């Protein structure tokens, strides 16, 4: 067994010799890398300062210019006006709540009457009851006319994937 492992070790590729590099050359390489990284950082810092103009911001600039013309002075309301508005808002809340309750009551009453009518119909005839609970297609009818598939255009030249780039370059 010792002999077979010796053959395997003997037939393996010889190890490469380590090349000794002068420490000064290693130091110069590291300094070059540091300098390159510093230069890239400086470029990035310079590019950060210049912002790309965005077309959507133009309208905001125009609005800022005329902002003084578009502002209104805040007028202090009198106590009577505040009370009047408060009572008006309260009346509106009461009115809208009553209206909501009335609509809910009408819906509940209609469903109750419909359920009672169906119960009476079921007592009279099961067949009529089954017909009554079937969906009526004429109530929610939807009709569509026209082709279901669009035929292909003859001699159509398909685009080859090229397009016009309209993005502004800054």
Of 49, 50, 30, which Cα lies nearest the Cα of 38? Answer: 30
Average pLDDT over every residue of 66-72 = 84
What integer pLDDT is reported at residue 61 of this predicted model? 72
Instruction: Identify the residue with better confidence: 76 or 4.
Output: 76
For residue 160, report the phi and psi dihedrals to the nearest 5 degrees: -90, 20
pTM of the entire predicted model: 0.38
Q: Is residue 38 part of a domain?
A: yes
Q: Is residue 17 part of a domain?
A: no
What integer pLDDT is reported at residue 168 of this predicted model? 77
If you average pLDDT over each of 3-7, 17-21, 39-43, 58-62, which comes out highest? 39-43
With a CB cutoff of 8 Å and minimum separation 6, the contacts of 53 are: 170
Q: Is residue 72 part of a domain?
A: no
Q: Is residue 82 part of a domain?
A: yes
Cα separation, 87 vs 118, whole angstroms = 47
Domain count, the chain: 1
What integer pLDDT is reported at residue 35 of this predicted model? 95
What integer pLDDT is reported at residue 170 of this predicted model? 67
Q: Is residue 16 part of a domain?
A: no
DSSP-assigned letter for residue 149: S
Q: Is residue 138 part of a domain?
A: no
pLDDT tops 90 at residue 151 = no
Q: 118 with 111: CB under 8 angstroms?
A: no
Q: Is residue 84 part of a domain?
A: yes
DSSP-assigned letter for residue 20: P
pLDDT tens, 8-28? 556 667 778 888 888 899 999
Instruction: Record the tokens describing residue 56, joined without a space.
Output: 């959507």
Range of the domain at 39: 22-64+78-132
**Cα-based distances in Å from 99 to 88, 93, 102, 103, 111:** 16, 10, 5, 6, 19
Which residue is listed with tokens 């026209």? 146
Q: Is residue 58 part of a domain?
A: yes
pLDDT tens, 77-130? 999 999 999 999 999 999 999 999 999 999 999 999 999 999 999 999 999 999
DSSP-assigned letter for residue 138: T
The mean pLDDT value of the chain amounts to 84
């Amino acid at each position: 067994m010792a002999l077979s492992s010796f053959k395997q070790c003997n037939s393996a590729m010889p190890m490469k010799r380590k090349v000794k590099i002068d420490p000064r050359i290693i130091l110069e390489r590291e300094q070059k890398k540091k300098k390159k990284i510093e230069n890239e950082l400086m470029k990035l810092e310079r590019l950060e300062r210049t912002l790309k103009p965005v077309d959507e911001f133009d309208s905001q600039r125009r609005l800022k210019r005329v902002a003084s013309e578009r502002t209104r002075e805040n007028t202090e309301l009198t106590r009577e006006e505040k009370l009047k508005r408060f009572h008006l808002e309260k009346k509106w809340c009461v009115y809208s709540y009553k209206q909501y309750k009335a609509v809910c009551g009408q819906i509940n009453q209609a469903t109750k009457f419909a359920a009672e009518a169906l119960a009476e119909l079921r007592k009279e005839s099961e067949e009529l009851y089954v017909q009554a609970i079937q969906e009526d297609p004429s109530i929610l009818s939807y009709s569509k006319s026209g082709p279901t598939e669009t035929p292909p255009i003859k001699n159509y030249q398909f685009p080859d994937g090229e397009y016009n780039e309209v993005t502004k370059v800054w």
